[in-house]
Structure 1
Amino acid sequence: MSEQEASVRSRLVAAGVDLVLHEGLSAVSLREIARRAGVSHGAPRRYFPTHLDLLSAIAREGYADLAARVTTTVRDAGPAPRDRLAALARGYLDYAAAHRGMFELMFRHDLLNSGRLGLRDTSLPLFTLLVDLVAQARRPTDAAAPVLAGALWANLHGIAQLWAWGSLQLATDATDDEALLRAALDAHLGPA
């Protein structure tokens, strides 16, 4: 790939990331990404064989951003595994709330299942970190760490989705999601 081709690809991905972050997933179209990247409306098809390829490249940027944020948050949480796990959970929920469109894109099943750009491979290191922290924080009688981590992740993802939809606020009268996060950790790992 020439330098010029790499530059256009990068501009298309950057324009897509900007569009998703500032206007949401529903605003994403090939034509709008091309317009924002300053290229012809046909250019995305020349650089990305399908719409899914471009969306996967955009989602990959989201995973990189989330991974960097979570890594920093976990590192700064101190040595206690449960504190590090709580920091990871808090970072996940905060990312979901602050970057709604990107969060939705990152977890689109058509992208994850398509094998485009190894997107599933991009998301697995985050899950591996979660499994490692759960393995350190779990009780010996708990389920295997990957199963327990999967259940916790499903719970956190559910909190993120239901919070964004306003359902949890309505059902629980909660004004923030911190009590829900703590309850999820306690439910999966036992009380702190």
Structure 2
Amino acid sequence: MEENRTEASAASKPARARNRRGEGGRLREDIIAAAVELLDEAGDERAITLRSVARRVGIAAPSIYPHFPDQPAIMLAVVRREFAELERGLRSAVEGAGGDPRRRLFAICEAYLEFAQTHPERYRAMFGGLWMPTLGDSSLTEADLSALGAETLHVLVDALGACVAAGQAASTDPFADAVALWLGLHGLAHQRAVTRAFPWPEDIADRVITALAHLKDA
């Protein structure tokens, strides 16, 4: 009953024109984009079903099967897409921050927090707050799950390593400290989302970054 109400509320599009030969990839991307729209609107992965996605794209539900065998496979594609988008944002922040390693690290962290604030539903899905993947799902493997977010973490590891090489950070294990820094950023992003009335110090992000990255005085 709940699923029917959710699906009924999803806006549908007119029937989609049939793809020309070789355009199956475009339909796959349309399916993922429709799932992201539904997630943004409902804030709940339960709004993403084969029927609701098909209705949003303007196709029959069976047309999804050549691209995705089930709903978990669609969610995995959504999460992968958003991690790729996050990675692009972090790398763009690096490019725009100039040559100073410390400035680049702060730019990455600020871009991460901005992504979490701008796309809260997607962010929660990426980190299991909405979508809880399990290896029991037919389309998921251990390699699928362990790879999620790996490239975004590498951006942070590389940035912290550059700070160490420049003598700006005292970390003796950039990978472990980058993981700790990510956990700090993730915790701050989560608490900002769920504890809106808390009197956050204006420099709380700077404090988290400086402490967990073991940055030296500028």
- Using the size of structure 2 for normalisation, the TM-score is 0.74
Offset from partner CA, 1:118-160 (integer Å, 9 cap, x none): 4643521211111111112246753401000000000001111
State percent identity of aligned pairs: 26
- Distance in 2, Cα, partners of 1:186 & 1:7: 44
Deviation at 1:53, TM superposition (A): 1.0
Aligned counterpart in structure 2 of residue 174 of structure 1, from 182, 191, 200: 200
> In the alignment, is residue 79 of structure 1 matched against residue 99 of structure 2?
yes
Offset from partner CA, 1:28-78 (integer Å, 9 cap, x none): 333221110111234334431122111111112111211111111111011
Aligned counterpart in structure 2 of residue 54 of structure 1, from 63, 74, 93: 74
Secondary structure class of the residue paired with 1:53: helix
Deviation at 1:116, TM superposition (A): 7.8
Aligned 8 A contact 1:20 1:28 in 2? yes
Structure 1 gap ranges (5+): none
Q: What one-letter code is carried by the residue in structure 2 that aligns with 1:99?
A: H
Alignment of 1:22-37 (within 5 A): 22-26=41-45, 27-37=47-57
| Aligned residue in 1 for 2:187 | 158
Structure 2 gap ranges (5+): 1-20
Deviation at 1:117, TM superposition (A): 8.5
| Aligned residue in 2 for 1:9 | 28
Higher helix share: 1
- Distance in 2, Cα, partners of 1:73 & 1:151: 20
| Aligned residue in 1 for 2:211 | 187
Larger radius of gyration between Structure 1 and Structure 2: 2
- Distance in 2, Cα, partners of 1:121 & 1:92: 18
- Using the size of structure 1 for normalisation, the TM-score is 0.83
